[in-house]
Structure 1
Amino acid sequence: MVYFGGLLGLIGLATVVFRDGDVVGVSAVGVGVGLVLIGAVVAALGVVRRRALKRRRAARGEPEPVGNVFERAAALPRLLRAARSGAYADLPKSRMALWVLALVYLISPIDILPELLPIIGVADDAGVAVWLLTSVSTATGLYLGRERDQQRRADQLGREPGTR
């Protein structure tokens, strides 16, 4: 929601700056300002929603994904190796199979909704791509958190008693 609100705000700003004529009978400035305001509200609601979800996950004791995009991308090969070898049981084989199916669907020229349909034809691919990226990012973030916890425990065990 945060990104969608930001996108609406950018579209509204571009409408104000670049649009000369009316938009469906309404002045371009009015449409642009309206989109900026709607974008700000949607982004704010997204921030509130994220914080609430984070608090709810923490209250349930669920682990929080860690790392930025680059760290998670670098951890993906380690995650896949650990999951295949059985060293990381938190990633089910079915999830990896779904990732492969999603990649095949995105690469394949055969779609459930053909690209000939104006907006809907691309929406199914976009939905699959968003799910795939979100799922992989979350899984690698959780894997990074586990790696960091193991490293922290190993560092604590390796220290001599009485030292910090």
Structure 2
Amino acid sequence: MVFFGGLLGLMGLATLAFRDADVIGLPAAGVGAGLLLVGAGVVGLGFLRRSRARRRRAARGEPEPIGDVFERARALPRLLRAARRGEYPGLPTSRMALWGFALLYLVSPIDVLPELLPIIGVADDAGVAVWLLTSVSTATGLYLRHERDRSQLPPR
């Protein structure tokens, strides 16, 4: 939601800055200000939703992902190796298959919405890319926590 709200806000700013003519019969300044306000609201709701989800996970005792972007990127090959060997049950085969399908969709020339449509044509690719990056980042963060917890266990 935060990403989508940011896009709406950017579209509002671009409309305010570069558009002189009416937009669908409405004044450009009104459309730009409206998009900017709606985008800010969606960003705020996205942050609120994210914080509520984090509190719910903590209340249920679910582990929180750790590591920054670079640590998670370095952990991805280890995660894939461990999942393939069966050493890490936290990553089901179905999720790895979904990651593969998402990559295939992003590189294939066939789209659900063609790029010929001005903004909407890129939205499906952007949505798949955001989902893929978020899913991979969360999985690698959980794997880093798993590695850290395993290294802190006393030897048998």
**TM-score bucket (shorter structure):** 0.7 to 0.9
C-alpha deviations, 1:49-86, integer Å up to 9, x for none?
11111111111111111222222111100101111222
For 2:80, the equivalent position in structure 1 comes to 80
Give the Cα separation in 2 of the matches to 1:7 and 1:109. Answer: 24
Residue identity matched to 2:42: V
Task: Write the mapping of 1:128-143 to structure 2, written as runs, cut at 5 A.
Answer: 128-143=128-143
Give the Cα separation in 2 of the matches to 1:13 and 1:120. Answer: 18
Task: Write the mapping of 1:1-164 to structure 2, written as runs, cut at 5 A.
Answer: 1-111=1-111, 113=112, 115=114, 118=117, 122-151=122-151, 153=152
Query: Once the two structures are aligned, what percentage of the paired residues are identical?
Result: 70
> Could you say if the C-alpha distance between residues 80 and 54 of structure 1 is closer, same or farther in structure 2, counting changes exceeding 3 Å?
same
> Could you say if the C-alpha distance between residues 101 and 33 of structure 1 is closer, same or farther in structure 2, counting changes exceeding 3 Å?
closer
Unaligned runs of at least 5 residues, structure 2: none
Residue identity matched to 1:28: A
Describe the SS at the equivalent of 1:89: coil
Shift of the alpha carbon at 1:124? 4.5
C-alpha deviations, 1:108-156, integer Å up to 9, x for none?
3455x363773766555444333322221211111112223334x26xx
For 1:161, the equivalent position in structure 2 comes to none
- Aligned-pair Cα RMSD in Å: 2.5
Question: TM-score, normalised to structure 2's length?
Answer: 0.82
Residue identity matched to 1:135: S
> Could you say if the C-alpha distance between residues 2 and 98 of structure 1 is closer, same or farther in structure 2, counting changes exceeding 3 Å?
closer
Give the Cα separation in 1 of the matches to 2:42 and 2:30. Answer: 18
Question: TM-score, normalised to structure 1's length?
Answer: 0.78
Give the Cα separation in 1 of the matches to 2:139 and 2:82. Answer: 12
> Could you say if the C-alpha distance between residues 120 and 41 of structure 1 is closer, same or farther in structure 2, counting changes exceeding 3 Å?
closer
Q: Is the 8 A contact 2:113 2:124 kept in 1?
A: no
Give the Cα separation in 2 of the matches to 1:114 and 1:4. Answer: 17
